[in-house]
Amino acid sequence: GQQLNQSPQSMFIQEGEDVSMNCTSSSIFNTWLWYKQDPGEGPVLLIALYKAGELTSNGRLTAQFGITRKDSFLNISASIPSDVGIYFCAGQHGSSNTGKLIFGQGTTLQVKP
Amino acid sequence: DSGVTQTPKHLITATGQRVTLRCSPRSGDLSVYWYQQSLDQGLQFLIQYYNGEERAKGNILERFSAQQFPDLHSELNLSSLELGDSALYFCASSVEVVGSYWGNEQFFGPGTRLTVL
């Protein structure tokens, strides 16, 4: 199935550092969503983006909807140990009577205290 | 807690068997989506129901089927199970904007881990 290109695949950082990850697509999306998944749990919605160029924050998390509508970025500032997990981007075309999500492969984040 | 519930949490069964996974969406959400998560394929959309009707199909095998009941809960039926069907199965729900634009935040349940032996 179709997947978004998400990078990096994994990151190992020191507590307090900032983190950046991104997703790119060959097609245009109307909505970008960012999720975090802990082992054995379901994805938890972090941020939703609905407009090209939109910049949205949720605490230490900031995400942007790319101008071309083909990419999105997630930044985490001042990382803490509980940020550990897998982060997924997901896009919605939203134009064909379904809101099905297309997911990236995920970015695994590890934080060293 | 997303408000989406799924049962059972774990399911272990043998090849050739049939299982049913159940999902209750968040209160007020009319759309239910089913996704499969495996190590090699990642998170893949299977099927969507909206207010009892099938809206979209993704990479869903013919051995798999789903339905959404009048109370909006949904069931995913997997039959003639194979080893490769072992995966996490997630249900997500959403309040859809009906009309020219579909797309909204989806909230995921805790998943059902299916192991086929």
Which residues does chain B have within 8 Å of residue A101's beta carbon, measured at their own beta carbons? 33, 35, 43, 45, 92, 106
**In the structure encoding, which two tokens stand for residue A3, read together?**
């997947």
More confident residue, B112 or B96: B112
Q: What pLDDT shows up at residue B98?
A: 53
- Statement: residue B100 has pLDDT above 80: no
Among the partner residues A33, A45, A97, nearest to B102 by beta-carbon distance: A97
Rounded to 5 degrees, what angle do the CA atoms B70, B13, B11 make?
55
Taking the mean position of all CA atoms in its chain, how far away is CA B47? 7
The torsion angles phi and psi of A107, rounded to 5 degrees, stand at -120, 120
Neighbour-count burial of A41, counting CB atoms closer than 10 A to its CB (0-12 exposed, 13-18 middle, 19+ buried): middle
> Which pair of tokens denotes residue A46?
């972090």
A20 Cβ neighbours under 8 A, 6+ residues apart:
A73, A74, A75, A76
Residues from chain B that touch A31, judged by Cβ atoms under 8 A, are 103-104
Q: How confident is the model at residue B93 (pLDDT cuts 50, 70, 90)?
A: very high
End-to-end CA distance of chain B: 31
What pLDDT is recorded for position A110? 97
Q: What is the least distance, in Å, from the CA of A57 to any CA of chain B?
A: 16
B101, pLDDT greater than 60: no
Amino acid at A66: G
Does residue A93 register a pLDDT over 90? no
Q: Are B56 and A30 an interchain contact pair (Cβ–Cβ within 8 Å)?
A: no
Q: Model confidence over B27-36: pLDDT tens digits?
A: 989 999 999 9
Facing A98 at nearest CB: one of B102, B108, B113: B102
Residue pLDDT, tens place only, B66-92: 999 999 999 999 999 999 999 999 999
> pLDDT band at residue A3, thresholds of 50, 70 and 90?
confident
Residue keyed to tokens 């009309």: B99
Q: What's chain A look like in SS3?
A: CCCEEEECCEEEEECCCCEEEEEECCCCCCEEEEEEECCCCCCEEEEEECCCCCEEEECCEEEEECCCCCEEEEEECCCCHHHCEEEEEEEECCCCCCCCCEEECCEEEEEEC
d(CA B109, CA A51): 27
How high is the mean pLDDT of chain B?
Answer: 92
